Amino acid sequence: INRQVINFGAGPAKLPPSVLLETQKELIDYKGLGISVLEMSHRSSDFTKILNTTEVLLRELLDVPQNYKVLFLQGGGSGQFSGVPLNLIGLKEAKCADYIVTGAWSAKAAKEAEKYGKVNIVHPKLGSYTEIPDPSSWNLNPEASYVYYCANETVHGVEFQFVPNVEEAVLVCDMSSNFLSRPIDISKFGVIFAGAQKNIGCAGVTVVIVREDLLGHAVKECPTILDYKIQAGNASLYNTPPCFSIYVMGLVLEWIKNNGGAASMEKLSILKSEMIYNVIDQSNGLFVCPVEKSCRSRMNIPFRIGSAKGDNVLEKQFLEKAVQLGMLSLKGHRSVGGIRASLYNAVTIEEVQKLVDFMIDFKETHQ
């Protein structure tokens, strides 16, 4: 594929071109069956093979221990904002949960959880989402059923560079926007979930990795399709799963494997994000990333240009020029404004270099 544009979108995001080509090739006739994956029964042996291969690849890439189930669900990351409390809040009698709130997505998750139990934000409310409060200051409740955090805040660009140590508590993590961008020690978690549409595929499927002993504790009001035990017992086929999205995920996972796996994705992510942060830090204040250095995201880099007061003229110029140069979706999230460059796995070093060149050029013209 010879594309004239670079997609820096925050999700749905760029897919590896080889995956798009494979999807195109197989769209009408999947491996000689004469029908498309779009038309295939989810209970057919051919789809079962796709589902199984995808799970095997995911387990291999993240070294998922045997005592964890991998589920492919619908409802997005937002569905899991409810799915997590519905399945886990009843683990302890107090029906309460600890939340670490470091940005828009964990804030939304905490708000949703309030519908089902008591929510304890473990640190004083943050004035702005630009840091992770020091873990030594967290006030964890021993009666909490689980401790929740978001590994990478997609809107605010705040990423945990460590796994919180919560001792024996059940740790739950939203990894929607940095899943498979680095190796992780799954055994430290009770539940991990991630929507596919950033690093591992297209919208429609959400991966849930859940430790087996946490199955079977859902509150009785929990919708059947969100019940981890029922979904695990039916190998994610309680109802029709998002078949095509699972198929695309399988192709992306294969691409990740062929490109060196999670460790390689991490190396590239460090390199790519440093390229942009270096330009920001060496711009004499023209580009400003508000996030504290220790928790800057490798995936989503938010920054402002100039004084960034109100309707910023320079930011407008920057975005217009970027589009002219074929660099798409660099506009910051509507809730925060400014610029945001998302550098998911499929975005190449060469593409990031083009953004670097443009930023340097812009700086030289406007400083």
Q: Restricting to residues 176-205, name those near ligand PMP by CB under 6 A.
A: 176-177, 195
Buried b (16+ CB within 10 A) or exposed e, 296-335: bbbbbbbbbbbebeeebebbeebbeebeebebebbbbbee
- What x/- string results for residues 22 through 61 when contact with ligand PMP is judged by CB under 6 A? ----------------------------------------
Binder among 98, 159, 174, 351 for ligand PMP (CB under 6 A): 174
Rounded to 10 deg, the angle between the 243-258 and 45-62 helix axes is: 40
Candidate ranges 76-84, 208-216, 271-279, 290-298; the one touching ligand PMP (CB under 6 A): 76-84
Task: Please tell me which residue in 14, 69, 105, 255 is annotated as part of the active site.
Answer: 105
Q: Check if 174 is active-site.
A: yes
The answer to whether 105 contacts ligand PMP (rule: CB under 6 A) is yes
Give the span between the Cα atoms of 253 and 261, in whole angstroms. 9
Candidate ranges 88-96, 157-165, 169-177, 278-286; the one touching ligand PMP (CB under 6 A): 169-177
Give the span between the Cα atoms of 311 and 138, in whole angstroms. 37
Instruction: Reply yes or no: is the peptide bond before residue 302 cis, omega within 30 of 0.
Output: no
Buried b (16+ CB within 10 A) or exposed e, 250-266: bbbbbbbeeeebbeebb
**CB-wise, 76 or 135, nearer to ligand PMP?**
76
**Least distance from ligand PMP to the Cβ atom of residue 54, Å:** 18
Task: Please tell me which residue in 92, 174, 227, 331 is annotated as part of the active site.
Answer: 174
**Least distance from ligand PMP to the Cβ atom of residue 40, Å:** 24
Task: Please tell me which residue in 14, 92, 198, 331 is annotated as part of the active site.
Answer: 198
Binder among 17, 76, 183, 337 for ligand PMP (CB under 6 A): 76
Contact between residue 41 and residue 68 where contact means Cβ atoms under 8 Å apart: no
Candidate ranges 72-80, 182-190, 225-233, 241-249; the one touching ligand PMP (CB under 6 A): 72-80
Selection from 347, 357, 321 nearest residue 8 by Cα: 347
Selection from 362, 358, 308, 366 nearest residue 336 by Cα: 308
The answer to whether 297 contacts ligand PMP (rule: CB under 6 A) is no
**Least distance from ligand PMP to the Cβ atom of residue 73, Å:** 11
**Least distance from ligand PMP to the Cβ atom of residue 353, Å:** 26
Q: Check if 357 is active-site.
A: no
The answer to whether 302 contacts ligand PMP (rule: CB under 6 A) is no
Structure tokens at 202: 């297209």
The answer to whether 78 contacts ligand PMP (rule: CB under 6 A) is yes
Selection from 247, 314, 191 nearest residue 26 by Cα: 247
Please tell me whether residue 96 adopts helix, strand or coil conformation: strand
Number of residues that bind ligand PMP (CB under 6 A): 11
**CB-wise, 174 or 266, nearer to ligand PMP?**
174
Binder among 102, 130, 145, 154 for ligand PMP (CB under 6 A): 154
Selection from 58, 82, 106, 100 nearest residue 207 by Cα: 58
Q: Check if 105 is active-site.
A: yes
- Type of residue found at 340: R
The answer to whether 245 contacts ligand PMP (rule: CB under 6 A) is no
Selection from 332, 285, 22, 331 nearest residue 153 by Cα: 332
Give the span between the Cα atoms of 248 and 245, in whole angstroms. 5
Candidate ranges 26-34, 170-178, 213-221, 268-276; the one touching ligand PMP (CB under 6 A): 170-178
Candidate ranges 35-43, 171-179, 228-236, 320-328; the one touching ligand PMP (CB under 6 A): 171-179
The residue assigned the tokens 């919708």 is 223
The answer to whether 77 contacts ligand PMP (rule: CB under 6 A) is yes
| Gyration radius of the chain over CA positions | 21
Q: Given the rule CB under 6 A, which residues bind ligand PMP?
A: 11, 76-78, 105, 150, 154, 174, 176-177, 195
The residues that are catalytic are 105, 174, 198
